[in-house]
Amino acid sequence: MVQFDCDDNPLRKDPSWSTQDEPSLRSLVDPILPRLRSIYEAAAESRSHPDDPAAATRFRDLLEDCVRSFADDERYRDDVRFLKICILYGDAIQDFEKVFRIMEVKGICQAHSLLYEAYAMSLVAGGKLVEAHEVFQLGISKNAEPLDRLKKMHGMFLNHLAAVAQNAAADPKSDMSSRSLNQWPTLVDPWSMPTIDDLLRKMDTNIRKYNGYCRSSKVYSGKVSFSSLKNYSRNKIVELGGCKYQIKGCSGLGGFAQVYKAHNDSNPDDVLALKIQKPAFPWEFYMYRQLDKRIPDVERPSFGFAHKVHIFADLSVLVCDYLSHGTLQDAINSNLVMHKLMEEVLCIYYTIEMLRMLETLHGVGIIHGDFKPDNLLVRYAREELTESSFITRSGPWRDQGLCLVDWGRGIDLSLFPADTRFIGDCRTSGFRCVEMQENQPWKYQVDAYGLCVIVHMMLHGSYMTIEKKVNPDGSYHYGPKIPFKRYWNSDLWKPLFSELLNLRSDGSDVQLLRSLRESFENYLRDNPKLITTLKHSLAKQKACLCSA
């Protein structure tokens, strides 16, 4: 429980609490003032009569009335006086977590360190030390002010806890003996260059042994400058490691990378993609080799393949497979240009494919981190699809589907402690998961949210916007703002968004992904005519995309 002593009440030190103020004019400008005066008087009465339950009840009721009256008032969204009222209310009802969640949903005083200090101390009082540690870290990750004070309070908490743990280690009956501070959750930005550079340094010896790893300490000095490829690329020959690549065009340009379509040794049947990055970035090659090691053969075609990487002092060139049928984004756009939306049966099929991908990835300790339709290449079977082999995903269906590429933001969970939670921001508009939007730690949510955005784009033809609603118990949930069309199968789509947008645990989500995937598969299996419709829809889509 959080306690404010009568003589050290922070609210009392606020000049606005003076009972000498003229109420009329100030109350019009600042309508919370009369409530503050009443609460101050009730607090004094409660302290003077600590054994009087009526005084305590009046004090609590005034706090609750004030919180309810002004929680949605923008004027007090960042008012430290209202923050202190909320803290007192959480203490009065002995349920600070409920109050904290309401403040989180409403966006009340989220940048004030006092909020996290008070919440953490209430958890300490209840013996929830691990949770208190996490609250301190949450406030620090949000840069709550004054940040130095919050860090100092956290340091004092850790020092005290370390002393307690040291004393308890000798006592086998103590709960603390099995809760070393080293086992507590840590927060890491997996995309920061210091983090990646540190991991690559530690693994350098092993990475050098990977097949296809070619490194030079010199700058690239080929006859054809990569900087000249942007404007005059067609048919130029690039030599790398004894191989000649005939550039056939640019497939994509970014701030740090360019991707070119190329023929290997001028062979039009051997098409590759060259990804050129400045500065050199070997991390993506490392992630591709982890896919080779961990992904089962039957699922491997659903994930891109890298043949080799050439590392120079100034740049790197990743040599990958090239798929010529476009991306899932292209498939979505092909409908939008005709003022149509993707057929629901196609949406169901690609949702199954994406759920299977994430189920496979997360099951082997890998997070993609940049799950969006531009990074999902469309695969088409060379042979005609048959209805009978759809459920078993055999025959031509094994070659049909999607292929996930671009692993520059891939996360290998085996390189971090099991309890690590991530705080990096992908900074990709429309694909920032709820936790990133609210400056909270995340893990598998980054991929799950990306999947929801893609499904929303397929169904609605637009990016997803979400709304946050408070549940009766004070918790909250998220959902897409745009409702489902009445002719869609809402029994499939609603659980998908509800479950994936509200992942609370950092534990494995594999079972959930599998359950969702099976619900979509069972729906198609129970409606065989839909599989026939799907086959024809895929054929039409292929004809449209491949002729463009």
Q: Which residues are annotated as catalytic?
A: 370
d(CA 347, CA 210): 38
Tell me the pairing of strands 213-215 and 306-311. parallel
Comparing CA positions, the residue from 127, 45, 122 lying closest to residue 91 is 122
Beta strands in 96-253 (DSSP E): 187-188, 213-215, 237-240, 243-253
CA distances from 338 to 19, 346, 535, 540 (A): 69, 16, 21, 14
Token couple for 124: 């300490």
By the 10 Å C-beta count (0-12 exposed, 13-18 middle, 19+ buried), 438 is classed as middle
d(CA 369, CA 76): 36
d(CA 394, CA 196): 39
CB 56 within 8 A of CB 74: no
d(CA 447, CA 190): 14
Task: Provide CB contacts within 8 A for 236, sequence distance 6+.
Answer: 224, 228, 229, 246, 247
Spell out the SS3 assignment of 437-483: HCCCCECCHHHHHHHHHHHHHHHHCCCCCEEEEECCCCCEEEEECCC
Strand-pairing partners, residue 53, are none
CA distances from 67 to 40, 71, 172, 311 (A): 15, 6, 45, 59
Token couple for 400: 């049909």
Tell me the pairing of strands 421-422 and 187-188. parallel
d(CA 218, CA 211): 21
CB 190 within 8 A of CB 407: no
